[in-house]
């Protein structure tokens, strides 16, 4: 089933009992093969994996949970958003963070890796809406996937703003940017708009309005995006990257505090998210890092 057949945001987006973002229902275990592992910059790399038979069609926002090779040292899997997926390949962009992502950077073409996925919820379709997507760093992944794979009927219009620290991390020459609508910013002013991607978004909506924003990136950026959405009266869908263990909704190590009819309640980022309607999140309780 395509993710597009799920609920769209022109329909009610938040019922009294919860959220209406499309969710993956049948995640599975797969052994996949490394097809490509290529440096994009000093910190980022592209990891392309073989698409296993029977993989549920992943929506933009869903993620895979990977075993780091050398499982004796790495008991916990690592979660990564799907940046692209076609008949043969699942692509991820990964930033080297700690030991796990450093070891994965050295994986060889042909090496096998254990994957569970796709997991979690996707950004919704938005017929007739003017979408402004704001990605920071590896937060580009689900938004790029949305931008590349969605069809014009999935939204009214779509603009993608991608921001990074500097030009080196913008992957200008590494990805296909030929589709209309992508723009760039760099914190140090080395390429595109000079400043944060949320400051860039403010300038963009002064030039041309939007109805809804999609955001993904580090938490301080997401909080700035939420302030931006609130001040400008925009709907906001956000993808969170909380620390995870099982990614199956069992251990509850990834919970966030959300609003509910009768007060507040914890929801899991791995199963209820990672994409949330920003109105349900208790933003003050979101971790800084
Ligand atoms: C839904 C989701 C999507 C993500 N998508 C991407 C992506 O597309 N590209 C990318 O580079 N990174 C992504 N991340 C973050 C990525 O999972 C962490 O950077 C990675 O797990 C760090 O592993 P490490 O061993 O290198 O770091 P360490 O810091 O050594 O990891 C130690 C432990 O903390 C966990 N951890 C550390 N940082 C994070 C984090 N930010 N989020 C979740 N768990 C963390 C690890 O899983 C591990 O269990 C995503 C996280 C989530 C939850
Ligand atoms: S990671 Fe275990 S419940 Fe989310």
Closest approach atom of ligand 1 to CA 102: 26
What pLDDT is attached to residue 6? 43
Residue segments in the chain with a per-residue pLDDT below the cut of 70: 1-26, 71, 289
Same domain, 269 and 126: yes
Structurally, how many domains does the chain consist of?
A: 2
Reported as a single tens digit per residue, the pLDDT across 58-83 is 999 999 999 998 767 778 999 999 99
CB distance 251 to ligand 2 below 6 Å: yes
What pLDDT is attached to residue 26? 67
Q: What is the pTM of this model?
A: 0.91
- Find the domain containing 273 and state its range: 121-285
* CA torsion through residues 249, 250, 251, 255, sign: positive
Please tell me the distance between residue 189's alpha carbon and the centre of ligand 2 in angstroms. 38
Same domain, 132 and 107: no
Please give the structure tokens belonging to residue 248. 């199956």
What pLDDT is attached to residue 39? 94
Please tell me the distance between residue 19's alpha carbon and the centre of ligand 2 in angstroms. 18
Smallest-distance ligand from the CA of 93: 1
Same domain, 163 and 190: yes
Please tell me the distance between residue 218's alpha carbon and the centre of ligand 1 in angstroms. 11
E strands present in the chain? 14-15, 18-19, 28-39, 44-50, 63-66, 78-81, 84-85, 89-95, 112-119, 126-136, 155-164, 182-186, 193-194, 212-216, 235-239, 255-260, 263-268, 275-277
Name the packing angle between helices 197-207 and 219-231 (round to 10°).
Answer: 20
Reported as a single tens digit per residue, the pLDDT across 138-172 is 999 999 999 988 887 889 999 999 999 999 889 88
Same domain, 248 and 130: yes
Closest approach atom of ligand 2 to CA 246: 2
CB distance 119 to ligand 2 below 6 Å: no
Q: Are 163 and 197 in contact (CB under 8 A)?
A: yes
User: Which protein residues are within 6 Å of ligand 1, measured from CB?
Assistant: 63, 76, 78-81, 92-95, 97-101, 138, 141, 241-244, 274
Closest approach atom of ligand 1 to CA 240: 1
Report the DSSP beta bridge partners of residue 188.
none
Smallest-distance ligand from the CA of 249: 2
What pLDDT is attached to residue 289? 67
* Residue finishing a domain among 66, 89, 119: 119
């Amino acid at each position: 089933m395509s993710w597009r057949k799920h609920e769209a945001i022109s329909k009610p987006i938040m019922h009294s009992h919860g959220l209406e973002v499309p969710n993956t229902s049948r995640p599975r275990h797969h052994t996949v093969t490394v097809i490509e592992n290529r440096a994009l910059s000093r910190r980022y790399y592209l990891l392309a994996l073989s698409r296993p038979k029977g993989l549920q069609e992943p929506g933009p926002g869903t993620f895979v949970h990977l075993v780091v090779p050398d499982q004796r040292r790495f008991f916990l899997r690592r979660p990564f958003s799907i940046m692209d997926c076609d008949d043969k390949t699942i692509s991820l962009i990964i930033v080297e963070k700690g030991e796990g992502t450093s070891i994965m950077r050295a994986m060889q073409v042909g090496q096998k890796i254990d994957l569970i996925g796709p997991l979690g919820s996707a950004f919704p379709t938005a017929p007739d809406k003017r979408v402004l997507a704001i990605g920071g760093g590896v937060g580009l992944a689900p938004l790029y996937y949305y931008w590349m794979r969605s069809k014009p009927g999935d939204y009214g219009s779509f603009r993608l703003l991608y921001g990074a620290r500097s030009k080196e991390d913008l992957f200008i020459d590494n990805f296909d940017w030929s589709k209309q609508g992508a723009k760039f910013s760099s914190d140090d002013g080395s390429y595109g708009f000079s400043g944060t991607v949320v400051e860039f978004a403010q300038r963009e909506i002064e030039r041309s309005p939007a109805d809804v924003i999609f955001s993904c990136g580090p938490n301080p950026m997401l909080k700035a995006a939420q302030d931006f959405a609130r001040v400008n009266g925009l709907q906001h869908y956000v993808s969170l990257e909380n620390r995870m263990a099982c990614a199956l909704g069992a251990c509850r190590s990834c919970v966030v505090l959300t609003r509910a009819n009768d007060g507040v309640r914890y929801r899991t980022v791995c199963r209820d998210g990672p994409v949330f309607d920003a109105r349900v999140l208790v933003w003050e309780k979101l971790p800084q890092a």
